[in-house]
Chain A
């Protein structure tokens, strides 16, 4: 074992962790807001809006994330209108393209989770609350959202792990996250086993951190689930 090399490599790979976490965190938050909006559309009374939500989910779930990244990073530059708009300073940077693609992608999966969680709230509880005179925001805040959180939190935690893994694709459009640095180091030293094993261990530890956070959130938000 070449310990000095391993230590040096681990040190260099760890400098990519902030970017990986940044991509994950920003896409998770932006994705959640989008997902909640799409899920709200999916429950709308108007059929065309429901179709729109289904189309959105179908488009982003049905195509590879890499294709979505390429369309945003390479494809959007072709649209003259976008090039002259205020969005261009963002779309010209790989960083923002990755964040946009990851947020849109995760929001499609998140929307399905939220929709499922809200649909899982027992009908009779909602009716009971309505019989007590609750409606609108009060009904949502007191009955629907807390119950939906109970059903959806674990699934959303899984989605966060998938998102963490997905951020590695940002390295394909030149971002220097953990995977990007690993690739650069491998093409310099050709010691692929060591480098990719260490990067794998970094991702695995980050996965465990997310699992731990979700458990903590569950205990904090859902005290009645405690055993």
Chain B
């Protein structure tokens, strides 16, 4: 890499460094929001799939099968085009003419969250099934109510068992946020496209973007693994 390339990705007056770092921050925020939405949906999905009512189980299975069998990009597109059309339609019904659109951040985060929820459903479900039944019995015998049981016995252990799978899902969510670039959100990939268009240096900027994705993935992965280790101490003998 020569000096002019370094200036271009650097933080000087001609450098894109600052913009790239801000965009990487937005990528991280989008991934966090998507993962959180996925967590809520995943919990709900796992509850559905573990339910004793066949209809609820069927809904849960439908959710995970469909959302895991369709490309993420289609879901992002569906929300992007469909979301704005639905909103415009609603606003027309309410008496507001014109075209309305949702911010692409919201659309993208919901779409990616919906997909990640399907994967998180499986993570929570299999973690729940690994729980020691005896502990739930014991909790009941001690007179714990359902809420206390859930809060003190079920939730902490399910989370601990699900953690390795959740770590993998987090990594894929982080990478999937790159899809938000095609609906116009200026996250890391979009910012790199803008920069490579302005400087005619696509290799440099996409390469930098790749490195930043790697860095974010490695750092968060390291964090998750150390939490895993710490929480795993009670199983060590």
By the criterion CB–CB under 8 Å, are B70 and A204 in contact?
A: yes
With contacts A63-B214, A75-B203, A76-B203 known, is A192 near B82, CB below 8 A? yes
By the criterion CB–CB under 8 Å, are B81 and A186 in contact?
A: yes
Determine the interface band of chain A, counting residues with CB < 8 A from chain B.
35 or more
By the criterion CB–CB under 8 Å, are A67 and B74 in contact?
A: no
Chain B residue with the shortest CB-CB distance to A69: B206
Q: Is the interface of B mostly helix, strand, loop or mixed?
A: helix
8 Å CB contact of B85 from A58, A182, A190:
A190
By the criterion CB–CB under 8 Å, are B70 and A203 in contact?
A: yes
Chain B residues numbered 172-213 whose CB sits less than 8 Å from any CB in chain A: 175-179, 181-182, 189, 192-193, 196, 200-203, 206-207, 209-210, 213
Residues of A within 8 A of B196 (CB): 74
By the criterion CB–CB under 8 Å, are B82 and A64 in contact?
A: no
Interface status of B218 (Cβ within 8 A of chain A): yes
Residues of A within 8 A of B81 (CB): 186, 190, 192, 196
Determine the interface band of chain B, counting residues with CB < 8 A from chain A.
35 or more
By the criterion CB–CB under 8 Å, are A200 and B85 in contact?
A: no
Chain B residue with the shortest CB-CB distance to A186: B81
By the criterion CB–CB under 8 Å, are B82 and A166 in contact?
A: no
B35 to chain A, nearest CB (A): 15
Query: Could you give, for residues 186-227 of chain A, a 1 whenever the CB lies within 8 Å of some chain B CB and a 0 otherwise?
Result: 100010110011011001100110000000000000000000
Residues of A within 8 A of B206 (CB): 67, 70-71, 74-75
Residue numbers of A with Cβ under 8 A of B are 58-59, 61-68, 70-71, 74-79, 161, 165-166, 168-169, 171-172, 179, 182-183, 186, 190, 192-193, 196-197, 199-200, 203-204, 207-208
